[in-house]
Amino acid sequence: MTPVTIELSDTKFRQQFESCTLDPAYFNHLGHLRIAWLYLSEFPLEKAVDLACSGIKFYAESLGATDKFNYTITDAIIRIIHRRIKLQEIKEWSLFLSNNEDLVLNALEVLLNHYSKALLFSNRARQSLVQPDIKTI
């Protein structure tokens, strides 16, 4: 984990993310995982998915990155995080990161166990939820 991801408390990170005042340096790949973790820590799965997907899309658009958000990737990663939290019975962010290095270092590889690259990066997958074509999550 890079230092920039831990300088903000969870509360400040979430508040700044939700108000679109979060410095983009904090919203790298780990930032995406962190906001998913925070929502999953507080809300049931479907509510966490909804908050994270709408929040990440809104945040990206606030930065002018209107073409970056992929609904299917975001949804899938959140569901994978949720499943792993339950299976591993993890309650600490740092422990989750150390136990799930594959998500931290190569989330795409994890996703490609469930989706073909063509489907995952299709326009349809960017705009709406597409079910896995290889293996369910």
Write out the chain's pLDDT in tens, 137 residues: 444 455 899 999 999 999 999 999 999 999 999 999 999 999 999 999 999 999 999 999 999 998 889 999 999 999 999 999 999 999 999 999 999 999 999 999 999 999 999 999 999 999 999 999 999 99
Read off the pTM. Answer: 0.91
Report the 3 state secondary structure along the chain. CCHHHCCCCHHHHHHHHHCCCCCHHHCCHHHHHHHHHHHHHHCCHHHHHHHHHHHHHHHHHHCCCCCCCCHHHHHHHHHHHHHHHHHHCCCCHHHHHHHCHHHHHHHHHHHCCCCCHHHHCCHHHHHCCCCCCCCCC
